[in-house]
Structure 1
Amino acid sequence: MYRKVFASKVFERKVVLVTGGCSGIGRALVLRFAQAGARPVILDLHREELDSLVLHLREHLNSDAMGLVCDVSDPQAVERIMTLVTERCGGIDLLVNNAGITHRSRFADTPRAVFERIMAVNYFGALYCTQAALPSLLERRGQIIVLSSLSGFVPLHLRCAYNASKHALHGLFDTLRQEVREAGVNVLLVCPGFTATDMHRNALAGDGSVNAPAPLAVGRVASAQDVAEAIFQGALRRRTQLVISNVGWRGQLLSRCFPRLFQRLVLSRTARG
């Protein structure tokens, strides 16, 4: 009983900043941390969705939430937002780098601009937010949570730019973890498998336009709420890596030991989309 009561107080009044927090896993995380008594700060591109979520949090969870419009791929905008959050809230205890976009196109059909846009949001967005929040996180001995993907170690078909951005996140944050561990800051890399979110509805085509391909999945599709709960529990325990997929370890083993077999499996499941 003591441990349950203690766990319920860990994030009480802690400032938890979530990028891309209005939909999917980001929204589920905002709700979960708010339920634990945290003060959510939500960054997203859409003012109406932010206002709606903040109102919901205040009316249903009595949460002192804040919603701010921010494009995480804009370093100046990120600096301004982080300064504002620090001034209003006193600092940041937990940063969740969740904002991300994807695409569906072959490498030969994907222009450089699409690669640059994917990296700008998925990789540099996380880098900019972390750089700007790091002084506060160091002062508060906080946490950084990074939403990677199963594709961080298992290649997904027609996702070359997306896969590359997730590999880059691992290189950056695995290194950062070593640098900030002694200062008391934890870095958790989260690798969800196929999850029911809106990300693929806004996937980029090879020409940079937004398309809406049929959902693609290998294995069971998790709910955003289940993934958020697993991440919340991982944050409670200050874990360093979390693979949330019933095909995670199998995929990793097949990809590394039997790459051709794994590629045939993925192609057979995804080529239909």
Structure 2
Amino acid sequence: MGRRVFQQKVVVITGGCAGIGRALALRFAQAGAHIAILDIHDESLVAFRQQLQDKLNADVMALHCDVSDDQQCAEAISQIVERFGGIDLLINNAGITHRSTFAETDAAVFQRIMAVNYFGALNCTRHALPSLLARGGQVIVLSSLSGFAPLLYRSAYNASKHALHGLFETLRMEVREQGVNVMLVTPGFTATDIRKNALVGDGSVNQGTVNLAFKVSAPADVADAIYQGACKRKRLLVLSNVDWQARLVARLFPRLFERWMVPRLSGVKPARANE
């Protein structure tokens, strides 16, 4: 049954050329969906569209769209609706992060993180919502394990993910009687380039690596779990590498969690936890 749920359905994926977004495009194309990929990397858009068409015979649109630009989102959604007749599933996947202390982070970095992670999802959802309402569709939002375990040196990123929960949990209540589902997804550590391309305090890109003390998931595995969750129209999908004991400690013993677990989650030595 799961293989038929999205056959001939229209699926829009932001940040769809790399990482989890790319894996999602492949997964839903395999399920027979019409795919619309939004991304800012033009060469990758062209190459990935061709790959989906050649290998999976998929019906694909690939559109340049900076999700932080509301006008670009409006134009992209309009083109998708015109081409496919509507939208059945919007996956707000596009996101960026940073690695810098609050005190050393320029205001422009906070604004950029919120513009992509929060307003990008808001922009696309706002323009797609009329079609989603008309078709009883679904919105999926990629959040983070930082929704329950804030990461050191990611104050802007953590804030953007908390804002997503506030927005989309409210939207879920407002549209559920009209047949639209909203699913928040909190992946754990996944093998993508988001940490490799993290901003630093002055807004430049940090090409350094972060050593993680946890198993890193493959994007394809995360995409398949999201696909299965979408088929069941779940409200929340927790895909965290941090086991249930750690989440229990975070809730019952927050100080212990902050001293012992947060530094490891953040990819820093525990000795730096009190700095």
Q: TM-score range by the shorter chain?
A: over 0.9
Shift in Å, 1:153? 1.5
Match of 2:75 among 80, 102, 107: 80
Distance of 1:141 and 1:91 partners within structure 2: 11
**Unpaired runs of at least 5, structure 1:** 1-5
> CA offsets per residue over residues 160-193 of structure 1, 9 Å max, x none?
1000000000000011000010101000000001
Is residue 149–residue 166 contact of structure 1 (8 Å, CA) maintained in 2?
yes
Q: Taking structure 1 as reference, are residues 29 and 77 closer, same or farther at Cα in structure 2, changes over 3 Å only?
A: same
Q: Does 1:67 align with 2:62?
A: yes
Match of 2:215 among 217, 220, 229: 220
Q: Taking structure 1 as reference, are residues 133 and 268 closer, same or farther at Cα in structure 2, changes over 3 Å only?
A: closer
Instruction: Please report the RMSD computed on the Cα atoms of aligned residues, expressed in angstroms.
Output: 1.3
Q: Does 1:116 align with 2:111?
A: yes
**Equivalence for 2:36:** 41
Distance of 1:58 and 1:164 partners within structure 2: 38
Divergent runs of 4+, >6 A: none
Return the structure number with greater helix share. Answer: 1
**Equivalence for 1:271:** 268
Is residue 218–residue 266 contact of structure 1 (8 Å, CA) maintained in 2?
no
Shift in Å, 1:254? 2.1
Shift in Å, 1:84? 1.0
Shift in Å, 1:36? 0.2
Distance of 2:228 and 2:123 partners within structure 1: 26
Q: Taking structure 1 as reference, are residues 199 and 246 closer, same or farther at Cα in structure 2, changes over 3 Å only?
A: closer
Is residue 2–residue 228 contact of structure 2 (8 Å, CA) maintained in 1?
no
Distance of 2:245 and 2:11 partners within structure 1: 33
Q: What code does the residue aligned with 1:271 have?
A: V
Match of 1:163 among 158, 162, 170: 158
Q: Does 1:103 align with 2:98?
A: yes
Q: Does 1:126 align with 2:126?
A: no
Identity %: 62
Q: What code does the residue aligned with 2:268 have?
A: A
Q: Secondary structure at the match of 1:169?
A: helix
**Equivalence for 1:207:** 202
Q: Secondary structure at the match of 1:196?
A: coil
Distance of 1:153 and 1:93 partners within structure 2: 29
Is residue 194–residue 218 contact of structure 1 (8 Å, CA) maintained in 2?
no
Distance of 1:185 and 1:46 partners within structure 2: 30
Q: Secondary structure at the match of 1:99?
A: coil
Q: Does 1:235 align with 2:230?
A: yes
Q: Taking structure 1 as reference, are residues 87 and 205 closer, same or farther at Cα in structure 2, changes over 3 Å only?
A: same
Distance of 2:157 and 2:110 partners within structure 1: 8
Shift in Å, 1:248? 5.0
Shift in Å, 1:218? 4.1
Q: Taking structure 1 as reference, are residues 225 and 268 closer, same or farther at Cα in structure 2, changes over 3 Å only?
A: closer
Q: Secondary structure at the match of 2:6?
A: coil
Shift in Å, 1:65? 0.7
Is residue 98–residue 157 contact of structure 2 (8 Å, CA) maintained in 1?
yes
Instruction: Give the TM-score normalised by structure 1.
Output: 0.95
Instruction: Give the TM-score normalised by structure 2.
Output: 0.95
Is residue 98–residue 146 contact of structure 1 (8 Å, CA) maintained in 2?
yes
Distance of 1:213 and 1:40 partners within structure 2: 33
Q: Taking structure 1 as reference, are residues 188 and 168 closer, same or farther at Cα in structure 2, changes over 3 Å only?
A: same
Is residue 212–residue 264 contact of structure 2 (8 Å, CA) maintained in 1?
no
Is residue 15–residue 93 contact of structure 2 (8 Å, CA) maintained in 1?
yes
Give the count of matched residue pairs.
268
Distance of 1:229 and 1:268 partners within structure 2: 27
Shift in Å, 1:249? 3.3
Distance of 2:69 and 2:124 partners within structure 1: 10
Is residue 14–residue 93 contact of structure 2 (8 Å, CA) maintained in 1?
yes
Distance of 1:251 and 1:28 partners within structure 2: 28
Match of 1:198 among 186, 193, 213: 193
Q: What code does the residue aligned with 2:24 have?
A: L
